[in-house]
Amino acid sequence: MNGYLKHIAQDRRLCILRLLKESQGSANESVLHMGVEALGHSRQPRSQIREDMRFLEGAGLVVLEYYADVAIATITRRGVDVAEGRIEVEGVKKPAIGI
């Protein structure tokens, strides 16, 4: 993956964590897809969001459950720590501090 695409993927994953944190801790892939698009990552296929969700699960940042064919992510305490910048995880952008 080239540098630009790597940066975009890291930012998209941080967006997913922030969306989960702000939505009472869990959301389905459809809601996350719309949220990520609203945060500037337009034209991402839903399959990309699902791939990011699996990456975050592998890093211990979310837990995934499936109902029918829909993935639902629930943020973990570690995921909240990453979203708030207390810890860093390779593959997820570190949030900026300040205004």
Domain boundaries, the chain: 3-83
Q: Is the pLDDT of residue 99 over 60?
A: no
Where does the pLDDT of residue 2 fall: very low under 50, low under 70, confident under 90, or very high at 90 and above? confident
How confident is the model at residue 1, as a pLDDT? Answer: 63
pTM over 0.85: yes
pLDDT tens digits along 39-84: 999 988 999 999 999 999 999 999 999 999 999 999 999 999 999 9
CATH number of this structure's domain 3-83: 1.10.10.10
Q: Which whole number is the average pLDDT over 78-91?
A: 96
Strand order across the 62-67 sheet = 26-28, 70-75, 62-67
Contacts of 14 (CB under 8 A, 6+ apart): 82, 83, 92, 93, 94, 95
